[in-house]
Amino acid sequence: MPRRTTPVAALLTAAAVLAATAPAATATGSTATRLVGITAADGTELRAAVCEPTDPGPHPVAVLVAAWGGGSTQNIMPCEELASRGYVTVSYGARGFGESGGEVEVAGPDDISDVSNVIDWTLANTESDPARIGVGGISYGAGISVLASAFDPRIRAVASMSGWADLVESLFSNRTRHAAVAMVLRISGEQNGNLSDESREMLDKYITDADREAVTEWSRQRSPSSYVDLINRNRPAVLMLNTWSETVFPPGQLADFQQRLEVPSKLELVPGEHAAAETSGLLGLPNDAWNDTYRWFDTHLRGAEPDGAPVVLQPRGATDRPRENYPDWRHIATRTDRFFLSGEQELTTDAPTDWTNTLHSGRDTIANGGVPLVTYTLEALTGNPPTAFLPALDTTAAARWTSPPLTETEVLRGSPHLRLTAVPPAPEGMLVAYLYDVDDTGTGRLISYAPYSWEGATPGAPLQVDTPLPPTAYDVPAGHRISLVIDTEDPLFFLDHNTDGAPLELRGQATSPATLELASRDGKELP
């Protein structure tokens, strides 16, 4: 049965359309492209496009692993670009996807050994240099590339675009299942690939919450963060390019991962959504993410001068914001601004007091995290985050705290942090916290948001909520206000529910205050 293409897969495989009518062997200038079959260790055939210079080698090697649902020609444009730059480049579809055989194992052991098998084939069949090997990809291909660098010491450079470091955190952050992500993986994997029995079982268990312990262990084995010691031992240079508003792999885990690396590394974060920043490069269009990947390979495989700092951030809020360079993640913020949540629904710096606020669970409000793969892709194009008219917020289903007008710009850099007490009405439930930049009209621009779930709680007993929100780089203008909104429903997390209408009490005490902490810096200190 032919594999069908879902909208998500179609986005990431659009470049294949441009290459679909190409002959099996072509030459463009000083490069040649051919399609081949590479036999993996277990006999599975992986289909690949080989793009190589026509001049004598040995040449540095770039292996490109296709994203979820992609095949050998998904990365054909970057493949040919790298060949024109002097690289023997092999672009292949991961097992179970595209024209490749086998089953989708979700970055399992066979996927990792496939990378080594492709490298073996490349060294045996092209004029390539075994001492200069790079591996990279988008999304699924990114995660496989980083994992492979832990197990194959020949890999000297890695480029991870919209990849993950901790799959457990991606699937279960704050004990909340990311429903939208799970459904995309399950449906697109079934329709556009050949899921293994284990992959199908684990994704189904995740969706139904049938065996969280088994899914957690399965995810941990597929997390680069589980193999930091091996990566540090092998010493590949690791580039990670992601977006601030990632629905699939939020950027905080990458910052944590980079801080554990003892190898040359670079983290770049820009406005946008999963895979949005690099997709135009698949069509051969000018693209910063792919250009940064080419420079990274040039630096670590060809001896070019290093380009840029270890941490590079492009703030949200406009399409023309200049990038900021930092020596490491710890230096992006220079201070913490703390607000207390008050009983008057204010974010204040005054002394904390005792208060309670009760809202009705299970009712959605105008506060939400947006539409996956759409909302923040539009932000990357327009510079406009999603908005909500906060005066229309249903205060029976949500609580809101607002600061006075800011006397100076609040330069947010890093992760906001929320602490408060909740009194759950049932053993299981969820709240969602949203941080907004609010103008004079009451229109809020979403800065960051995070779910927080509990299970096994004692109804009526206080529960301490202590959680970071995903990091951001966002400037709240002077004269605007900052608002914190808490409700109990969001379409992104529809697998986790509250008891409809049940009262959820939120509390703050003078002795145990509810606080919102903002990682910030003085605008005059910006690099």
What pLDDT is stored for residue 290 in this prediction? 97
Predicted confidence (pLDDT) at residue 368 exceeds the cutoff of 90: yes
What pLDDT is stored for residue 118 in this prediction? 98
DSSP-derived 3-state class of residue 86: coil
Q: Is the dihedral of CA 299, 304, 305, 307 positive or negative?
A: negative
Q: What proportion of the chain, given as a percentage, has pLDDT over 90?
A: 82
Pairing mode, strands 31-39 and 45-53: antiparallel
Average pLDDT over residues 252-262: 98
Q: Tell me which of 139-143, 179-183, 393-397, 410-414 is least confident.
A: 179-183
Q: How confident is residue 393, by pLDDT bands cut at 50, 70 and 90?
A: very high
In angstroms, the CA 287 to CA 460 distance is: 53
Pairing mode, strands 429-438 and 481-487: antiparallel
Q: How confident is residue 183, by pLDDT bands cut at 50, 70 and 90?
A: confident
Average pLDDT over residues 61-84: 97
In angstroms, the CA 367 to CA 360 distance is: 15
Cβ atoms of residues 442 and 389 within 8 Å: yes
List, in order, residues 6 or more apart from 387 with CB less than 8 Å away.
443, 444, 445, 446
Pairing mode, strands 59-65 and 31-39: unpaired
Quick one: 101 exposed, middle or buried, by C-beta within 10 A (0-12, 13-18, 19+)? middle
Cβ atoms of residues 354 and 510 within 8 Å: yes
- Cα–Cα distances (Å) from 372 to 9, 243, 274, 443, 470, in that order, read 14, 13, 9, 22, 16
How high is the mean pLDDT of the chain? 92
* DSSP 3-state percent helix, strand, coil across the chain (nearest 5): 30, 30, 40
Q: How confident is residue 22, by pLDDT bands cut at 50, 70 and 90?
A: very low
Predicted confidence (pLDDT) at residue 459 exceeds the cutoff of 70: yes
Give the pair of three-digit tokens for residue 57. Answer: 């080698």
Amino acid, single-letter form, for residue 101: G
Predicted confidence (pLDDT) at residue 2 exceeds the cutoff of 70: no
Q: Where are the alpha helices (DSSP H) in 288-328?
A: 288-302
Q: How confident is residue 318, by pLDDT bands cut at 50, 70 and 90?
A: confident
Write down the number of H helices and E strands in the chain: 14, 25
420-437: per-residue pLDDT in tens?
Answer: 999 999 999 999 999 999
What pLDDT is stored for residue 8 in this prediction? 42
Cβ atoms of residues 175 and 455 within 8 Å: yes
What pLDDT is stored for residue 293 in this prediction? 98
Cβ atoms of residues 169 and 249 within 8 Å: no
Q: How confident is residue 325, by pLDDT bands cut at 50, 70 and 90?
A: very high
201-242: per-residue pLDDT in tens?
Answer: 999 999 989 999 999 999 999 999 999 999 999 999 999 999
Q: How confident is residue 495, by pLDDT bands cut at 50, 70 and 90?
A: confident
Q: How confident is residue 409, by pLDDT bands cut at 50, 70 and 90?
A: very high
Cβ atoms of residues 430 and 449 within 8 Å: no
What pLDDT is stored for residue 221 in this prediction? 98
In angstroms, the CA 268 to CA 271 distance is: 10
- Name the pTM for this structure: 0.93
- Maximal C-alpha separation, the chain: 76
Cβ atoms of residues 66 and 98 within 8 Å: yes
What pLDDT is stored for residue 9 in this prediction? 44
What pLDDT is stored for residue 181 in this prediction? 73
Residue whose tokens read 């914190």:
484
- In terms of phi and psi (left: phi > 0; alpha: psi -120 to 50; beta: otherwise), the region of 80 is alpha
In angstroms, the CA 123 to CA 152 distance is: 14
- Judge if the upstream peptide bond of residue 58 is cis by omega within 30 degrees of 0: yes
What pLDDT is stored for residue 26 in this prediction? 39
